[in-house]
Structure 1
Amino acid sequence: MQSPPITVRELERADLPLLNRWRNDPGQIANLGAGFRFVSLEAESRWFDGYQGARANNVRLAVCAPDGAMIGVVYLLDIHWVHREAEFAIWIAEPAWRGRSCGAQATRLAIAHAFDDLNLQRLRLAVLPHNEAALRLYRRVGFRQEGLSRKAAYKQGQWHDVVQMGLLRDEYVPEAA
């Protein structure tokens, strides 16, 4: 199902209660690389303060539905200005918006920002092998598998491999997202 156009904007302090609700839902975290842990709203606020102090090397964007409601996040993290690279991450957290091309739209917007506005040369990401929807999207826009970190993520009492992927500016296929 195709969704209406989504937008991205910088994450704001007012977004923290919703982000905190998502982070405290174990089902939400199942396909993400990080393990589940409970996060208080106070800890979330301190995390946001840390982001504000590190904005020069991190871009944290809210993914918004046409009505402006936040439905997920997309990040460019640990930007290295000499090597011109960053870590890419995306999370469409609102279940009603999954499978409607929102992740593809947000991915396109964030990658265009990375390459066209920030003049980055390379993006990297890590994804769990069972997250097939994410793997399909990443491959469609040009990410290539660069490696496999064996038993690198501990989730729900089990160790999981993590697929390492990378995308160079000249490999990006915007129309395929």
Structure 2
Amino acid sequence: MPTAPLLVEAFSQKHIPEMLDWFSNLEALVQWGGPGLSFPLEAAQLEAMLAETTAVEPARSMFAGLVDGKLAGHAQVALDWQNGVGRLSRVAINPRMRGRGLARPFLREVTERFFADPAFERLELNVYTFNEAAIRTYRSLGFREEGVRRSSAKVGDVRWDTAIYGLLRNECN
């Protein structure tokens, strides 16, 4: 369990500098953010994501997990308002704070906040199949594996498989 209380708030401009050194190589960045980002992570990439959070029906929500005022976790939910579906993505725990049991309570709060909006019925996510720690966390929150997209991402000369998980409103733990 976390040694200090975990607080969750909207990710904002003030959190960006704390996050820029979380991903030490291209593989770590792609594992977090997908193949569309460039290494190293720069403030402009996060600022572009933040710009999508401001509309009346935003394209995404972004969350910051804080411990003792320091950025401990980050997560995003891409929002499909027409179909009532969110895609949990870009989940990371600060490398200096891993192993403290922060991921599960952080993601539980993110999930609860997502489902607090009655417009949404389903939360889904993609996770690379080798990311066993993340998969254990998602399963502990009630997410169910729905399939695997084989060889779906190319990182350097290596291909990665992506598992698809989903959670419906009535399945929340």
2:12–2:50 Cα contact (<8 Å) kept: no
| Cα distance in 2 for residues equivalent to 1:161 and 1:14 | 34
| Correspondence for 1:56 among 51, 58, 62 | 58
Which ranges in structure 1 are unaligned for 5 or more consecutive residues? none
Superposed CA RMSD in Å reads 2.4
Matches within 5 A, 1:1-177: 2-3=1-2, 4-23=4-23, 25-26=24-25, 28-29=28-29, 31-32=31-32, 34-35=34-35, 37-39=38-40, 41=42, 43-44=44-45, 46-48=47-49, 50-54=51-55, 56-65=58-67, 67-77=68-78, 79-117=79-117, 119-173=119-173
Count residues in correspondence.
Answer: 169
Hey, which of these two has a bigger chunk of helix by percent? 1
- SS of aligned partner of 2:22: helix
The TM-score with structure 1 as length reference comes to: 0.82
Query: Residues 48 and 141 from structure 1, CA distance in 2 versus in 1: closer, same or farther, beyond 3 angstroms?
Result: closer
Relative distance call for 1:33 and 1:50 in structure 2 (3 A) is: closer
Q: What's the % identity of the aligned pairs?
A: 26
* Gap regions ≥5 residues in structure 2: none
TM-score (norm 2): 0.84
